[in-house]
Amino acid sequence: MKLFYTRDKWAAFRSDTSGSWGFVPTMGALHQGHLDLVAQARLENTFVAVSIFVNPKQFNQTADLLAYPKTIESDLILLQASGVDAVFLPVTGEIYPENDTYEAASPGQAALGLEGVYRPGHFQGVVNVVDRLFELIKPSIAYFGQKDLQQCLVVQEFAALKYPSLKLVTVSTRREASGLAMSSRNVRLSDKGREDAAEIFKALDHLREFPTETESMRLRLLESGIETEYLEPMEVRLNTQKGLMNRAWVFAGYLEGIRLIDNLLFKE
């Protein structure tokens, strides 16, 4: 597995390869959910590249950026064991050089509402970095986790316009046995917090069957210490390995001061 710290070294290497490149963009602190993306990319491509870059532009709170877990050594061990060919580990100046004139794409309609409301500027930051990474990595297929459902929709929308030949693959959310969606942020939860957080998926699952019971689900979450920001149904259009999904229940909220999101996608 080769490591690249600069865009120039990566670009020189990339232009010397022939075959398809699968690309998994990450912010590190890898867990099995990320490894599922890598495994899918490994199945479908000649080469697999992973980027690890904690993108400051997508954090709307400095405290959240500073608290973001960093586990680079174990990340690299996991990626090596997963058969990754190349890891791109840029410092901020490689992605956002001084006197930068790059005109990054902007998020479209999919960025309105939900995370777009509660995390102003977040999707602008995501699109900014994903655009630059696509431009540089030049993937044939890029892989995103469905846990960040709105992110999948935002990337799908901007990439269709700017990278029409790029294929996007979204991979199902990996859950712990309790139902808790795996997330890099979970390491900041206490043991009790991790148990309580399992209520989120139970609520989503319940609402799928009983869609009028949002208020009682909010109360049940609150009893487990979870303050809901949003818990609502959503219309989507997302290709998944289980076919085209058109409905979802989506959640965001706080537990032990940590922001958690989750969703349940389905077809109606």
Q: Which residue, 74 or 216, is less far from ligand PAF as judged by CB?
A: 74
Q: Lay out the sheet containing 227-240: strands in order across.
A: 227-240, 243-255, 258-266
| Alpha helices (runs of H) in 52-190, residue ranges in sequence order | 62-67, 72-81, 92-95, 115-118, 122-137, 149-162
Q: Is 173 in the site for ligand PAF (CB under 6 A)?
A: no
Q: Determine which one of 31, 34, 122, 206 is catalytic.
A: 34
- Rule CB under 6 A: choose which of 130, 171, 180, 265 binds ligand PAF: 130
Could you tell me the smallest distance in angstroms from the CB atom of residue 49 to ligand PAF? Answer: 13
How many residues sit close enough to ligand PAF to count as binding (CB under 6 A)?
10
The phi and psi torsions of 144 (rounded to 5 degrees) equal: -135, 150
Could you tell me the smallest distance in angstroms from the CB atom of residue 158 to ligand PAF? Answer: 12
Question: What does the buried/exposed string (b/e) look like for 54-86 if buried means 16 or more CB atoms within 10 Å of the residue's CB?
Answer: bbebbbeeeeeeeebeebeeebbebbeebebbb
d(CA 41, CA 31): 16
SS3 258: strand
Could you tell me the smallest distance in angstroms from the CB atom of residue 183 to ligand PAF? Answer: 10
Interface residues for ligand PAF in 27-66 (CB under 6 A)? 27, 55, 58
Q: Is 250 in the site for ligand PAF (CB under 6 A)?
A: no
Could you tell me the smallest distance in angstroms from the CB atom of residue 57 to ligand PAF? Answer: 9
Reply yes or no on whether 34 is catalytic. Answer: yes
Q: Which residue, 25 or 90, is less far from ligand PAF as judged by CB?
A: 25
Residues whose CB falls within 8 Å of the CB of residue 26, separated by 6 or more in sequence, listed in order:
34, 50, 51, 52
Q: What is the Rg, in whole angstroms, of the alpha carbon atoms belonging to the chain? A: 18
Please identify, among the stretches 23-31, 186-194, 202-210, 229-237, the one whose residues bind ligand PAF according to the rule CB under 6 A: 23-31
- Rule CB under 6 A: choose which of 126, 141, 142, 265 binds ligand PAF: 126
47, containing H or E segment:
strand 47-52
The DSSP code for 60 is S
Could you tell me the smallest distance in angstroms from the CB atom of residue 53 to ligand PAF? Answer: 6
Q: Is 129 in the site for ligand PAF (CB under 6 A)?
A: yes
Q: Is 131 in the site for ligand PAF (CB under 6 A)?
A: no
Hey, how many other C-beta atoms are within 10 angstroms of the C-beta on 246? 14
Q: Is 25 in the site for ligand PAF (CB under 6 A)?
A: yes
Binding site for ligand PAF (CB under 6 A): 25-27, 55, 58, 126, 129-130, 148, 151
